[in-house]
């Protein structure tokens, strides 16, 4: 595994999450071209790195596919854009990192939701952008899971 290619993947993922997180927060939508670019870059980099990395990229996208399924089943309680973004990050990061990033992001989003309910600024049906929680989710993942 080429370390510099992994750094490119992580940097690309952070840039994508920052860009899309700002858009999600401001406009409650994502911009698809950067997502498709990141997905394509993840697949190309995984092919360059070899079969094992390509398999990891493939399985990494399944996190996003599951989120898309949940979005469909819940009639968009979680956005389709979140699922598409997680497909792209899965192609860049692989299954393990993408799954932990997603789980940490869910945990952090749930803490914010609890805080909004307790403080009276929201209710159980309030919506909030999810992608901004993936940035600290990725940071925690890299620090605790990968870096440990």
Per residue in 26-38, pLDDT tens?
Answer: 888 889 999 999 9
pLDDT classification of 1: cutoffs 50, 70, 90: very low
What predicted TM-score, i.e. pTM, was given to this entire model?
A: 0.91
Give the whole-angstrom CA distance, residue 39 versus residue 13: 10
Give the residue among 4, 9, 3 at the shortest CA–CA distance from 138. Answer: 9
Reported as a pLDDT band with limits 50, 70 and 90, residue 148 is: low
- Average pLDDT (49-66) is 90
pLDDT at 77 (0 to 100): 83
pLDDT, the chain, mean: 91
Pairwise CA distance, residues 129 & 117, whole Å:
16
What's the rounded mean pLDDT across residues 62-74? 95
Region 112-136: mean pLDDT is: 89
Tokens matching residue 86: 């997680």
> Is 14 a residue whose pLDDT tops 60?
yes
Tokens of 85: 């973004």
Rounded to 5 degrees, φ, ψ at 70 are -65, -40
């Amino acid at each position: 595994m080429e370390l510099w290619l992994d750094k490119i993947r992580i940097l690309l993922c952070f840039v994508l999450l920052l860009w899309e997180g700002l858009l999600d927060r401001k406009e409650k939508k994502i911009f698809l071209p950067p997502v498709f670019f990141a997905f394509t870059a993840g697949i190309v980099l995984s092919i360059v790195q070899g079969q094992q990395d390509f398999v990891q990229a493939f399985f990494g996208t399944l996190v996003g596919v599951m989120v898309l399924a949940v979005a469909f089943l819940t009639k968009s309680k979680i956005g389709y854009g979140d699922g598409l973004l997680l497909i792209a990050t899965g192609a860049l990061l692989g299954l393990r990192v993408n799954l932990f990033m997603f789980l940490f992001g869910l945990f952090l989003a749930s803490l914010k939701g609890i805080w909004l309910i307790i403080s009276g600024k929201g209710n159980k049906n309030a919506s909030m952008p999810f992608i901004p929680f993936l940035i600290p989710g990725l940071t925690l993942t890299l620090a605790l899971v990968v870096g440990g």
